[in-house]
Amino acid sequence: MTLAHGETEIGDSLPSFLDKAEQVAKIFATGAIPIIIGVGGWIIQTTIEHDKEQAAKIQQEQQSALDKDRISLEYVKIAKDILTSTEKDVPRELTTWSWRLLDGVSPIKFEKDDLNRLIKNQERIPTPSIPSASSNFLSLAPEYDRMFKSMTLTGGNEKFDTIVNELLENKARYADVERRTGVPWFIVGVVHYVQTGFDFRTHLHNGDPLTARTVHVPRGRPTSGQPPFTWEDSAQDAFESTGVNKIQDWSIVRVLFELEKYDGFGYRRFQINSPYLWNCTSQYTKGQYVADAVFDPERVASRCGAAPLLKRLMDRRLIALK
């Protein structure tokens, strides 16, 4: 078959055009690959650099925050050291600054009146009344023995006999607690007086009302039962929760140790004989906790301590302690 002249030219030219197009594409592709790789690499590198900058910025901010926290902590430590100092003549300006700093960084702020009172009275922060290694019976027994034997009672026997007589009037209730716990009735009575002034409406733990669980230290007692509590139930919990009910040795030195332990050894930090034991004797002059962890070096306790009451009970031959 013979083709027309025009048809032959189109057929011959098509392969040539495709070949040229293929060559151009190869040339373009060959040239574009480095460009694409370069652009892609630039984008990746830019992203990496940006991420590094962001990471460095975040790290710097975190470090700055840590440094700020460290500085704040150092100031808190300084304030704590000032407020726990046993030195008597700490300048008022330092205690004022310390209380304001602690209130400023604390998540729970003081009531304005409470803060002003702490500043005005130059109050200090006592160490928690947890017995140290030296506050154990064997190490303190000689001290109790010496102090009890050398003490003199202040105020005359009539004052102490008034207290002792009221204690005896309540002996039946104290004996009930003794049957429950094994704690001698006269110790129950002495604690009742020193702790609450013979108030049968309050917990023996700390003097909080029996209409609810305790809100002061120790908080939330008794843990079982529902308020209002009977005085006997609360007294039982007080002795059992402190372990006094487990004591078998009721010598005078052991009694004095257990009574101070019951109230807390916090006075020893201030080198003051506990008024809980020694008020109304020659072994105590002043200094008292006026609230949980708030110590007033000038306050004089109002109730007589346990030691003179025990001494008067012994002198009247109402009890016998070795």
The per-residue pLDDT for range 33-59, each reduced to its tens digit, is 666 666 566 677 766 777 677 767 777
Same domain, 272 and 160: yes
Q: Per-residue pLDDT for 28 more than 70?
A: no
Rounded (10°) angle between helices 157-169 and 185-196? 110
Same domain, 267 and 154: yes
Same domain, 173 and 275: yes
Same domain, 161 and 94: no
- What is the pLDDT at residue 54? 78
CB-CB contact of 297 with 88 (8 Å)? yes
Q: Does pTM top 0.75 for this prediction?
A: no
Same domain, 47 and 190: no
Q: What is the mean pLDDT of residues 168-194?
A: 97
How many structural domains comprise the chain? 2
pLDDT for 210-225, tens place per residue?
A: 999 999 989 999 999 9
Q: Does a structural domain hold residue 129? A: no
Distance of alpha carbon 119 from alpha carbon 291, whole angstroms = 15
Q: Does a structural domain hold residue 125? A: no
E-strand ranges in the chain read 288-291, 294-296
Same domain, 158 and 273: yes
Q: What is the mean pLDDT of residues 115-119?
A: 84
Q: What is the mean pLDDT of residues 191-198?
A: 97
Q: Per-residue pLDDT for 12 more than 70?
A: no
Nearest to 307 by CA among 181, 160, 103: 160
- The one-letter amino acid code at 147 reads M
Average pLDDT over all residues of the chain: 84
Same domain, 178 and 309: yes
**Alpha-carbon dihedral 55, 61, 63, 66, rounded to 10 degrees:** -140
- What is the pLDDT at residue 98? 87
- What is the pLDDT at residue 133? 42
Q: What is the DSSP string of 268-288?
A: GGGT---HHHHTTBTT--S-E
Same domain, 115 and 149: no
Instruction: Tally DSSP H helices, then E strands, for the chain.
Output: 11, 2
- Bridge partners of 281, per DSSP, are 153
Same domain, 208 and 292: yes
Distance of alpha carbon 106 from alpha carbon 70, whole angstroms = 15
Residue finishing a domain among 120, 148, 168: 120
Q: Per-residue pLDDT for 148 more than 60?
A: yes
- What is the pLDDT at residue 171? 97
Q: Which range of residues forms the domain containing residue 202?
A: 137-315
